[in-house]
Amino acid sequence: MRRSRAFIPTTKEAPSDAVLASHIYLSRAGFIHQVASGLYSYMPLAKRVIKKIENIINEEMAKVGAEEVELSFVTPASLWQESGRIDKFGKELLRFKDRKENLFVLGPTHEEMMVDLVRNRITSYKQLPINLYQIKTKFRDEARPRFGLMRGREFIMKDGYSFHAYEEDLDREFSAMERAYKRILTRLGLDFRVVEADSGAIGGSGSKELMVLANSGEDTIAVCDKCEYGANIEAATRGAVEIPEAPEALFNKFQTSETSSIEDLAEFFKIDPYYTVKCVAKKLVFEEDSEVVLFFLRGSDNLQEVKALNATGALEITDVTAQELEELGLETGYIGPLDQDRAKHVIDSDLKNATNMVCGANEKDYHFVGVDLSIISEVAYFADISEVHEGDSCPHCDGKLSFTKGIEVGHIFKLGTTYSEALKAEFLDENGKAKPFIMGTYGMGVSRLVAAVIEQHHDDSGCIWTKETAPYMVNIMISNIKEVTQVELGEALYTRLIESGVETMLDDRKERFGFKMKDAELIGFPYTIIIGKELVNGNVQIFDRKTKEKISVDKNEIYEKIMELL
């Protein structure tokens, strides 16, 4: 492509709302243009990058035997009613009616559509397994779109779905897909981590997220410093702690005025908060109603709300007001798990057999000491509801957990029969018995990957595309368009590279050296061949975007040299 003819509107200034590097540079370098909140147009450079990523995905999907399809973007709301997700998905689903007053939604994900496509077409175990995917624009009416391509309302996603007759076959496919996803991210040149995760509103198990490591990531992930373990903070667990010697005490009720906080309580008894029981009261919203639920944890721990949701099966978790607690007869600061009959409660599994604990006596100004929680271990409801801390031990080895930020670019999980049952998608097994498909689902954010690459590969001058993602590999810069010898060499080299299949840009604009260099750095071509003042000595230079180094090359060897580098 000739730069003089290309549509690449670069600017010196970024849109005022751009915060992330990817948003700033993709805007400034003329890749994307925002048209409305969370909606972006892709200009030629972005389109090329997207195609590259799609090609890599297609290649890797072909290797594992997945087939590409394309489902309609506008989907009938009736399918969403059938699965029951029309209410669960909420306002993120953009709904509208056609001229005949039929209700439709813009697809935010395509479980229903894919199950509908397969049901009654795949009818025998002999036809299984199959794995179908598409790369398609999705729409989620996010309450608050932000960060450019990172969290748009309209975005491109690769979504795949596999159908199986047996659990073991799903397990096999799931592993194969995990490997394929890792290969994709590796080829894209990304530093990433596969972590255990919560499966969210779609439901399912064996959930894993593929996280591109970047400080700007919206997710916090806990990773082990010794083994491969990594998990989203929403799902992270920790190894059993060596229970330190508890200060022994006989069971007793103690007057503890002015100690409604864990801090005060620990100070009062001169013990570590680890030996205290804290109560976190939350209001849980269920499909029909809502109610206050008490969560008991060690004083040293914090409630992990996603875990709390999973433990209770609620849809949403919100704060409670002091008034609501009062109405239930709960004494703030002195709520304890013993004889707790005022509200439903969940106790952190870490407390299951804890002894010598201090907890609220459900009476103002009184706490129990020397509490042995094992006495209620048979009757109370225990679940993992605490959030791991940095420095906690790894659940799989003797390493320590540390936190890092990640961008969720992929999410794979085992759906099981949730959707096939809801949509009555069944096949006949060897015994002629009808069974729902066992499904897996595999998502990867294509447009988000474009942003993720830049989040991980940029500097103060702009984008630094990796070899597999670069919109053009080589930029030939003719320093002074009035110098005939420079133009001649540039044109000849351009033609030769194009003929060799190299994606090449020829900067043939009548601009000054500095202007063109800044522009090339902003766009981020991996290599720029500078044909300039050294040509009188028979030399040109290769500028490496990543290192910003320029190396001189004899003009007669430049073709071979650049081909070597690619």
Partner RNA sequence: CGGGGUGUAGCUCAGUAUGGUUAGAGUACCUGGUUUGGGACCAGGGGGCCGAAGGUUCGAGUCCUUUCACCCCGACCA
Q: Considering the complex, what minimum distance in angstroms separates the CB of residue 115 from RNA?
A: 15
Q: Considering the complex, what minimum distance in angstroms separates the CB of residue 445 from RNA?
A: 5
Q: Considering the complex, what minimum distance in angstroms separates the CB of residue 171 from RNA?
A: 19
Q: Which is nearer to RNA, 443 or 490 (CB)?
A: 443
Q: Considering the complex, what minimum distance in angstroms separates the CB of residue 10 from RNA?
A: 5
Q: Which is nearer to RNA, 197 or 277 (CB)?
A: 197
SS3 content of the chain, % helix, strand, coil (to 5): 30, 35, 40
H-type alpha helices, 273-397? 305-312, 322-327
Q: Considering the complex, what minimum distance in angstroms separates the CB of residue 354 from RNA?
A: 28
What is the rounded CA–CA span in Å between residue 464 and residue 462?
7
What is the rounded CA–CA span in Å between residue 502 and residue 347?
62
- DSSP output for 87-147: HHSGGGS-EEE-TT--EEEE-S--HHHHHHHHBTTB-BGGG--EEEEEEEEEE---SS-BT
Asked if the bond preceding 108 is cis, omega within 30° of 0, the reply is no
Residue 313: other Cβ atoms inside 10 A: 9
What is the rounded CA–CA span in Å between residue 230 and residue 222?
6
Q: Considering the complex, what minimum distance in angstroms separates the CB of residue 72 from RNA?
A: 18
Q: Which is nearer to RNA, 34 or 131 (CB)?
A: 34
Q: Considering the complex, what minimum distance in angstroms separates the CB of residue 473 from RNA?
A: 18
Q: Which is nearer to RNA, 345 or 411 (CB)?
A: 411
What is the rounded CA–CA span in Å between residue 412 and residue 160?
9
What is the rounded CA–CA span in Å between residue 289 and residue 389?
33
Q: Within 13 Å and on the Cβ side, how many CA atoms surround 494?
A: 20
Helix (H, G, I), strand (E, B) or coil at 265: helix
Give the length of the chain: 566
Binding site for RNA (CB under 7 A): 10-17, 19, 28, 34, 36-38, 90, 92, 108-109, 138, 140, 142-147, 151, 155, 157, 159, 199-202, 218, 305, 316-318, 411, 443, 445, 461, 479-480, 482, 512-515, 517-519, 521-522, 530, 532-535, 541, 543, 548, 550
Q: Which is nearer to RNA, 262 or 522 (CB)?
A: 522
CA distances to 187, 195, 264, 316, 342 from 281, rounded to whole Å, are 47, 29, 19, 14, 12
C-alpha Rg value of the chain to the nearest Å: 29
Q: Considering the complex, what minimum distance in angstroms separates the CB of residue 352 from RNA?
A: 27
Q: Which is nearer to RNA, 276 or 310 (CB)?
A: 310
What is the rounded CA–CA span in Å between residue 464 and residue 320?
48
Q: Considering the complex, what minimum distance in angstroms separates the CB of residue 398 from RNA?
A: 32
> What is the phi/psi pair of residue 455, to 5°?
-55, -35
Q: Which is nearer to RNA, 394 or 540 (CB)?
A: 540
| 152 burial level (CB within 10 Å; 0-12, 13-18, 19+) | buried
Q: Which is nearer to RNA, 147 or 494 (CB)?
A: 147
Q: Which is nearer to RNA, 386 or 539 (CB)?
A: 539
What is the rounded CA–CA span in Å between residue 499 and residue 408?
39
Sign of the Cα pseudo-torsion (415, 421, 426, 428, in order): positive
Q: Which is nearer to RNA, 125 or 437 (CB)?
A: 437
Q: Considering the complex, what minimum distance in angstroms separates the CB of residue 29 from RNA?
A: 8
Q: Which is nearer to RNA, 354 or 493 (CB)?
A: 493
What stretch of H or E contains 266? helix 262-269
Q: Considering the complex, what minimum distance in angstroms separates the CB of residue 490 from RNA?
A: 12
CA distances to 118, 166, 423 from 128, rounded to whole Å, are 11, 9, 18
Q: Which residues pair with 528 in a beta bridge?
A: 475, 543
Q: Considering the complex, what minimum distance in angstroms separates the CB of residue 521 from RNA?
A: 5
